[in-house]
């Protein structure tokens, strides 16, 4: 069995959507979910919820435990851009989450806890974002609300970081270069399998597809279902039961790229019979080592993951 290569492919944004949109009528904005996976975010909400300068917009689970659908990215980007400051956090998993790219891309000041992975991709406390400190969180927020010039300079530095290193086009160039380095494939034929979902990170994934399509010869096949169905009924999806189209079972492609949901369809991958398998894999809701072992079993040589573990 060949060696399984792994490569961190952090989140990225489409700069035509996540960008400054003009005036910033909101002082402090906090958005997202606030369940147990985000204890720091919960502390931030507790500190901010009664402050006149704060706006908190949460997506809370309904009675059945289902979290409401994400907004369209363009609407969400305009909302972020309307604020001077947007705090967030890395979650209990210690991940560079999508908000770390989205917030600075809108020229909004990011306040967050700090992990090594942030340093690895260019985040510097006090230069292009502000480090969260529990004991004086409100003092930090109010300081940067009062000091416009300093806040705007740090926000701009964050914007430049994202524009230079973390747009979708940059990420695709990195990805294509990695394929060339590993497999010597100058213009690989790629089968891109993905599931249409409304999740915000899934919407980002769509932009990655389109940018890749403009770079190399890639065929994109979409399957309309959700991640839960993909995990439980993968074989039915492959056969077309949950989609009008079957997945091509051919060796006409050099590489296969898929999002996390299709990565769990182990037996079906053997039927696709591609000489190389590449998985875009999240690796954050199951044991990373076990998942990597399973991915390797059905012939993948390369795993690119969005959340570093």
Q: Which pLDDT score, from 0 to 100, does residue 266 have?
A: 44
Q: Alpha-carbon distance 101 to 123, whole Å?
A: 10
What letters, b where the CB count within 10 A reaches 16 and e where it falls short, cover 64-103?
eeeeeebbebeebbbbbbbbbbbbbbbbeebbbbbbbbbb
- Higher-confidence residue of 221 and 158: namely 158
- 83 phi/psi in degrees, rounded to 5: -110, 150
Q: Which value, to the nearest 10 degrees, does the dihedral of the CA atoms of residues 174, 264, 286, 195 take?
A: 60
CA 216 to chain CA centroid, Å, is: 22
Six token digits for residue 78: 């305009």
Residue 20 pLDDT exceeds 80:
yes
Average pLDDT over residues 280-308: 67
Q: Which pLDDT score, from 0 to 100, does residue 59 have?
A: 78
Q: Which pLDDT score, from 0 to 100, does residue 115 have?
A: 93
- Higher-confidence residue of 292 and 238: namely 292
Query: Per-residue confidence at 171, pLDDT binned at 50, 70, 90?
Result: very high
Six token digits for residue 1: 């069995």
Query: Per-residue confidence at 132, pLDDT binned at 50, 70, 90?
Result: very high
User: Which of 23, 20, 30 minimizes the C-alpha distance to 77?
Assistant: 20
Residue 271 pLDDT exceeds 80:
no
Residue 143 pLDDT exceeds 90:
yes
Q: Which pLDDT tens digit goes with each residue over 204-241?
A: 777 888 888 888 877 766 655 454 444 454 555 445 45
- Which range, of 83-97, 124-138, 286-300, averages the lowest pLDDT? 286-300
Three-state DSSP class for residue 109: strand
User: Which of 141, 124, 122 minimizes the C-alpha distance to 132?
Assistant: 141
- Which range, of 2-11, 167-176, 290-299, averages the lowest pLDDT? 290-299
Q: Alpha-carbon distance 6 to 185, whole Å?
A: 17
Q: Alpha-carbon distance 274 to 288, whole Å?
A: 24
- Higher-confidence residue of 269 and 106: namely 106
Q: Alpha-carbon distance 204 to 200, whole Å?
A: 7
The tally of CA atoms less than 13 A away on the side-chain side of residue 211 is 20
Mean pLDDT of the residues in the chain: 80
Work out the number of other CB atoms within 10 angstroms of the CB of residue 148: 10
Q: Alpha-carbon distance 287 to 281, whole Å?
A: 12
Work out the number of other CB atoms within 10 angstroms of the CB of residue 309: 17
Q: Alpha-carbon distance 59 to 204, whole Å?
A: 18
Average pLDDT over residues 237-249: 51
Query: Per-residue confidence at 260, pLDDT binned at 50, 70, 90?
Result: low
Whether pTM > 0.75 for this model: the answer is yes
Q: Which pLDDT score, from 0 to 100, does residue 283 have?
A: 59
Average pLDDT over residues 109-128: 96
Query: Per-residue confidence at 29, pLDDT binned at 50, 70, 90?
Result: very high
């Amino acid at each position: 069995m060949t060696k399984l290569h792994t490569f961190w492919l952090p989140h990225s944004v489409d700069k035509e959507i996540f960008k400054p949109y003009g005036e910033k009528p909101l002082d402090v904005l906090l958005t997202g979910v606030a369940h147990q996976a985000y204890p720091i975010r919960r502390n931030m909400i507790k500190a901010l919820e009664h402050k006149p300068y704060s706006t908190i917009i949460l997506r809370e689970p309904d009675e059945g435990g289902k979290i409401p659908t994400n907004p369209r990215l363009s609407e969400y980007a305009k909302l972020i851009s309307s604020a001077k400051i947007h705090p967030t956090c890395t979650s209990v998993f210690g991940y560079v989450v999508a908000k770390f790219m989205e917030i600075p891309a809108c020229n909004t000041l990011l306040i967050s806890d700090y992990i090594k992975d942030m340093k690895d991709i260019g985040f510097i406390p006090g230069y292009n974002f502000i480090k969260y400190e529990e004991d004086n969180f409100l003092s930090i927020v109010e300081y940067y609300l009062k000091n416009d010039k300093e806040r705007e300079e740090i926000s701009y530095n964050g914007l430049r970081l994202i524009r230079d290193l973390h747009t979708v086009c940059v990420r695709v160039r990195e990805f294509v270069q990695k394929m060339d380095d590993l497999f010597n494939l100058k213009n690989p034929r790629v089968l891109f399998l993905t599931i249409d979902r409304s999740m915000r990170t899934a919407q980002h994934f769509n932009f990655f597809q389109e940018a890749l399509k403009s770079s190399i010869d890639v065929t994109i096949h979409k399957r309309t279902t959700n991640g839960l169905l993909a995990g439980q009924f993968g074989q039915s999806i492959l056969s077309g039961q949950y989609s009008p189209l079957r997945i091509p079972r051919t060796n006409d492609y050099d590489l296969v790229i898929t999002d996390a949901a299709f990565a769990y369809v182990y037996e079906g991958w053997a039927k696709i019979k591609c000489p190389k398998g590449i998985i875009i894999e999240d690796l954050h809701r199951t044991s990373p080592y076990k998942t990597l072992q399973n991915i390797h079993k059905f012939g993948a040589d390369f795993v690119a993951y969005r959340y570093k573990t």
